[in-house]
């Protein structure tokens, strides 16, 4: 005996989380594009759209509260709702990091770039790829994929170390680059944190499937 109404509402909840996920993916890639192509209008758009991401988070939270209050979810249903409640927090924060990077793109404005952007777009692509794979794993309730995504985090960490060391070299050899270099350190830092947040999302997916909270990737820094 399925619970038609309840199952439909759970499905809606999942759909909304996926919508929020793609909004966040878009924010990451747009903020990076804005930086790369010095497109200030695009950067402003990312900042504007972050309000929608925040609103989505509250809407999803409200759906969860209503489901808990009216449907008495238990077992896997309960775990799903609790996991979604946690995942929207991480998604919203990733959105904030993207907004932060859009803000930095605006501050950099049309200053000449320190160096061609290569590793930073790579970090953004990797973080986005991880997020996408995590949302896929959520839809398929696939704990193994979620664990694999967590393992990918080291790629982003390594890129961050590389970018960081490189920028330090710039600053050390030519103090006039400090301002510009520091901004890029922040961009890279935001991307590194975004990938860490994706690993939190993966932990929640594993929780839905196994009922256990595994600390899969120890958050660094």
Partner 1 sequence: MESFINTELSSRKSLNDSDYILQVEELNAFYGSFRAVKNVNMSIPARAVTAIIGPSGCGKSTLLRCFNRMHEVAHGARVEGRVMFDDNNIYATGTDPVRIRCHIGMVFQKPNPFPTMSVLDNVVAGRRLSSLWTKRSEMEELAEKCLRQAALWDEVKDKLKQSGASLSGGQQQRLCIARALAVQPEIILMDEPCSALDPIATLKIEDLMRTLTEEYTIVVVTHNMQQAGRVSDMTAFMLMSDDRAGELVEYDTTQRVFTNPKDKRTEDYITGRFG
Please report whether residue 212 would count as binding partner 1 according to CB under 8 A.
yes
* Whole-angstrom distance, CA of residue 82 vs CA of residue 65: 10
Q: How far is the CB of 58 from partner 1 (least distance, A)?
A: 23
Choose, by CB under 8 A, the member of 17, 49, 53, 73 that binds partner 1: 73
Please report whether residue 38 would count as binding partner 1 according to CB under 8 A.
no
Q: Which residue has tokens 């619970």?
A: 3
Please report whether residue 3 would count as binding partner 1 according to CB under 8 A.
yes
For residue 111, the SS3 value is coil
Residues 127-186 that bind partner 1 (CB under 8 A): none
* Whole-angstrom distance, CA of residue 190 vs CA of residue 57: 20
CB under 8 A: which stretch of 36-44, 108-116, 184-192, 210-218 binds partner 1?
210-218
> Inter-axis angle of helices 143-173 and 119-140, to 10 degrees?
170
Q: For 117, which DSSP code?
A: -
Q: Which residue has tokens 């758009």?
A: 45
CB under 8 A: which stretch of 26-34, 40-48, 172-180, 206-214 binds partner 1?
206-214
Q: How far is the CB of 74 from partner 1 (least distance, A)?
A: 5
Query: What are the distances in angstroms from CA 206 to CA 16, 146, 149, 173?
Result: 20, 7, 11, 46
Please report whether residue 69 would count as binding partner 1 according to CB under 8 A.
no
Binding site for partner 1 (CB under 8 A): 1-3, 6, 72-79, 207, 210-213
């Amino acid at each position: 005996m399925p619970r038609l109404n309840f199952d439909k509402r759970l499905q809606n909840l999942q759909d909304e989380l996926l919508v929020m996920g793609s909004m966040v993916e878009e924010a990451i890639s747009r903020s990076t594009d804005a930086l790369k192509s010095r497109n200030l209008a695009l950067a402003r758009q990312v900042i504007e759209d972050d309000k929608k991401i925040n609103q989505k988070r509250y809407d999803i939270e409200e759906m969860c509260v209503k489901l808990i209050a009216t449907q008495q979810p238990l077992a896997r249903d309960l775990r799903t709702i609790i996991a979604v409640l946690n995942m929207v927090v991480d998604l919203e924060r990733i959105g904030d990091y993207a907004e932060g990077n859009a803000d930095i793109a605006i501050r950099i404005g049309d200053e000449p770039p320190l160096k061609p952007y290569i590793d930073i777009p790579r970090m953004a692509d990797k973080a986005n790829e991880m997020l996408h794979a995590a949302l896929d794993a959520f839809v398929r309730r696939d704990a193994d994929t979620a664990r694999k995504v967590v393992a990918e985090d080291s790629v982003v960490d390594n890129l961050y170390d590389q970018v960081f060391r490189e920028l330090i070299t710039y600053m050390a050899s030519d103090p006039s680059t400090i301002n510009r270099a520091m901004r890029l350190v922040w961009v890279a830092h935001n991307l590194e944190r975004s990938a860490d947040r994706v690993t939190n999302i993966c932990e929640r997916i594993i929780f839905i499937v196994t009922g256990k909270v595994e600390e899969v990737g120890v958050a660094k820094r």
